[in-house]
Amino acid sequence: SAKFASTVEIPYSYRDQTAAGPANTRVYEGAEIPRAGIKQAIDTTYPIPQKLGFEVSDELRHLTGAKLINWDALAENQMNASRIIGEDTNQLLFNAMLGAADEYGAVAITNENLELQADDAKTVFILANFPVVRPRRLLDLQGNQIGSTLYPVTVSYNSTAIEAYDGTGDQAAGTYYVLDYNLGEIYLVDEAGDVQIPADGTAYTISYSYASNTYKFDTDLPVNTDLETHWDSFLYRFALRKSQIEDERFYVADMALMSGSVMTAVEQAKKFGENWKRPGTALAMTGDLGSIKDVPASKVYGPGNHFGDLRVLIGQRGTTRYRMLKPWVLSSLESERGPSGRFTGKKSAYGDQWIAIHTPTPLRAALTTITLYSSSARVAR
């Protein structure tokens, strides 16, 4: 928890690999003693508001309150609002960890030429690199942006910068882009979301940053390879990513996050069979994926998370920091009024919560990912 404030300070420490390490500890009489390679710092982040309301009529409250049916409309609305806030919090945490992993070692690309894929027929174009790092903005309590957008995506079509399609239907008439950040696929739409065909010979470029801190695993079966053997190779790649975190970056890989569908696919590996089983690689009692190389696996689910069925996160717990500034509390019911100011016989309430989520830049090295894709499907089309 943290006190409610316009900014939140996140203290942390990390190992400075250029400073004194194990080889510098043997100091003989009278010699200067080197200092340990530990750095301490404080990052500043900003509160994230979470607010939600609901409405219920007097008739419905009275009917359910009279116990004619075994159901309480008010309690159901309260429970549903709390559940959605919980889902939003999970989404923010999961997305923050995945974003931090992608930002570590991100590589910027300027004005990649997409027109080369245009033929007056194709609509979906592929980027030369993927996954794409999602742009990150910091907002204050009033919703004003602090500083510049980090890892921006800039798309230009017909020599005009175009914005991302937001799905609201409220955008002005024009051309917008839709980008699949995990797969690095892009297509154009109009303000209604209808897909557009980029004209051959029309300038079409994109600037972005891509994640280098990942291994791209092709889910297509190689020739003369069965399904179980192919997913065995996934376990091998998983082990290599774990080794990179532990052996090269000096963190402990003690968590893995992925969707239920990805878990089910990974469970097809031979090593989960009784005769092929290896210590440290097992299924849980529920039949779900338990651990790979003794790294516990957990399921990521809920609306709006960026993992989808395409990403696996491996890393050390506790690197992404979560602070509760004000816990979720619902207000008391208030009577609603119509346009003329008269009561409507409806009651409404709302709740709010403020949290802060931040991964200090040096600690992003404790996270890495595997990106799942199909080489046969990821083509311009």
CB 256 within 8 A of CB 292: yes
Q: Residues 6 or more apart from 12 whose CB is under 8 A from it?
A: 40, 41, 42, 43, 321, 360, 362, 363
Q: What pLDDT score was predicted for residue 292?
A: 86
In the numeric block, which tokens belong to residue 65?
């309150």
CB 61 within 8 A of CB 22: no
In the numeric block, which tokens belong to residue 115?
């027109």
> Which of these, 351, 354, 347, 356, lies nearest to 329 by C-alpha position?
351
CB 312 within 8 A of CB 238: yes
Q: What pLDDT score was predicted for residue 287?
A: 63
Q: What pLDDT score was predicted for residue 276?
A: 57
CB 210 within 8 A of CB 181: no
Amino acid at 67: K
Give the residue carrying structure tokens 């500890």.
25
In the numeric block, which tokens belong to residue 316?
């050390």
Q: If residue 115 lies in a helix (H) or strand (E), which one and from where to where?
A: none
Give CA separation, 283 vs 233, 291, 309, 312, in Å: 17, 7, 19, 17
Q: What pLDDT score was predicted for residue 272?
A: 76
Q: What pLDDT score was predicted for residue 285?
A: 64
Helix, strand or coil, per DSSP, at residue 90: helix
Q: What pLDDT score was predicted for residue 302?
A: 82
Report mean pLDDT in 10-residue bins for the chain, 381 residues: 92 78 80 83 94 90 70 85 94 96 98 96 97 96 94 96 92 96 97 95 97 97 92 94 93 94 90 65 69 88 91 96 95 91 92 96 96 97 95
Q: What pLDDT score was predicted for residue 69?
A: 63
> Cβ atoms within 10 A of the Cβ of 76, count?
14
Q: What pLDDT score was predicted for residue 154?
A: 97
Q: Residues 6 or more apart from 82 whose CB is under 8 A from it?
A: 328, 330, 351
Give CA separation, 63 vs 35, 59, 369, in Å: 72, 6, 52
Give the residue carrying structure tokens 């190389």.
293
> Which of these, 275, 359, 271, lies nearest to 317 by C-alpha position?
359
Radius of gyration of the chain (CA): 25
Helix then strand count (H, E) for the chain reads: 4, 23
